Chains A and B, each alone.
Chain A
Amino acid sequence: MATSVPQAPPAAAAGSSKFPAWATLGAIFGVVGALSIWTWGPIGVSGTYPRFIGAILRRVTPGYAFANPYLEKMGSLIKPETFLVIGLLIGGFLAAKLAGDKAQAEEYIHPGETSKSKRYRDAFLGGLLIVFGARMAGGCTSGHIISGITQLSISGMIFAAGVFATGIITAKLMHKGAK
């Protein structure tokens, strides 16, 4: 089926009326975050991307890799954060399987995404910008916004303000622009 119209925004995950899904799941996530800070450290994802680049470059071009101050600073892949990312993959797989959810291979999220290739282009460029921006700031949604503000960090609050400022503008412009 050729879907050229963006799908209607999905309904929020339900839950009961007294405890909607976002409240229950958010509270559980808060407990997981606090227990992580207690037992090993704050959750964070985006640092794994450059550590992965480092692991490759140390094999392909060790001279460059060992002289690069950023890769040296980020260190090896054998870190809790790497295992957290592996866990995300497993958790997403298991939750979808156990709930019988069949995710769409691609969701069209802006009117301009009129084909698979245009959707993949937006996902690719979006992925590039989020990781570049997160590495510049020193963390992403999990490290800066969730773990950062959980720890009352001012940097997490500044990052969140930046993210939602351009995030809201971009999503609204992409929605209007192609109509």
Chain B
Amino acid sequence: MTPLILSLLAGVAMGALIQRVRASSPAMIAANLRLENLSIIKFMATTIAVGAMLAYLLAAFIGPEAMHFDIKPTYVVGVLIGGLIFGVGFGLGGYCPGTCVVGAGEGRKDALWAILGGVVGALIFTLVFSSVIAPINKLMDYGKVTLDQVLHLPAVGVAIGLGAIVLGIVYMLPTDVKKRS
């Protein structure tokens, strides 16, 4: 029961943060993908940097087995093709599977169409999974791989190093690109 309540609270916080930073605005997403305004990309990068440093520092103190890490497998071909398909939809509609739900919450009608599209996409995926997707996703499957394993370095060190580099890049980049140029 507790995980359900905690995940609901995390969802409320996440929804409010996405709404406040305007990531639920498809026009804002399109401006970011056109690289005219980088505020959402910088928001995501900051989230990842802070989250990685904090999660692995916590793991170093209380032990990784006390954390609920869940690494997704690296089946290179399927992950990459999935990402490429996702990017086309992201650029076309300006929503991702979470931001359209946030957008629906704040009264956007096009967000409802994006959710409907997502439901149809999930149905089509379910229908073609065994015949089309499963064979592709068996290609170049390296299982659960993390950057610290590839580099043969301690996870907490890699998390802090990556976080510091990402934060450094993010703070150097302009937010409103057109104003600077």
Across the interface, do B7 and A87 meet the contact criterion of CB distance under 8 Å? yes
Report if B65 contacts A (CB, 8 A): no
Q: How many residues of B contact A (CB 8 A)?
A: 129
Across the interface, do A158 and B58 meet the contact criterion of CB distance under 8 Å? no
Across the interface, do B92 and A132 meet the contact criterion of CB distance under 8 Å? no
Docked pose: A35 CA to B17 CA in angstroms: 15
Docked pose: A93 CA to B104 CA in angstroms: 8
A9 shortest CB reach to chain B, Å: 3
Docked pose: A175 CA to B89 CA in angstroms: 15
Q: Do most interface residues of chain B lie in helix, strand or loop, or is the interface mixed?
A: helix
Across the interface, do B8 and A83 meet the contact criterion of CB distance under 8 Å? yes
Across the interface, do B175 and A152 meet the contact criterion of CB distance under 8 Å? no
Q: Which residues of chain B have C-beta atoms less than 8 A from A52's C-beta?
A: 119, 122
User: If A158-B74, A166-B84 touch, does A129 touch B147 (CB 8 Å cutoff)?
Assistant: no
Across the interface, do B74 and A150 meet the contact criterion of CB distance under 8 Å? no
Q: Pick the contact of A70 from B110, B129, B158 — CB < 8 Å?
A: B129
Q: Which residues of chain B have C-beta atoms less than 8 A from A41's C-beta?
A: 3, 7, 68, 70
Enumerate chain A interface residues (CB-CB to B < 8 A).
6-7, 9-13, 20-23, 25-43, 45-46, 49-50, 52-54, 57, 68-71, 78, 80-81, 83-96, 99, 101-110, 119-120, 122-172, 174-175
Can you list 6 A-B contacts (CB < 8 A)?
Answer: A12-B28, A27-B47, A85-B101, A92-B103, A142-B14, A144-B79
The 9 closest A-B pairs by CB, nearest first: A126-B93, A87-B11, A91-B15, A162-B83, A127-B117, A30-B50, A129-B89, A137-B82, A170-B91
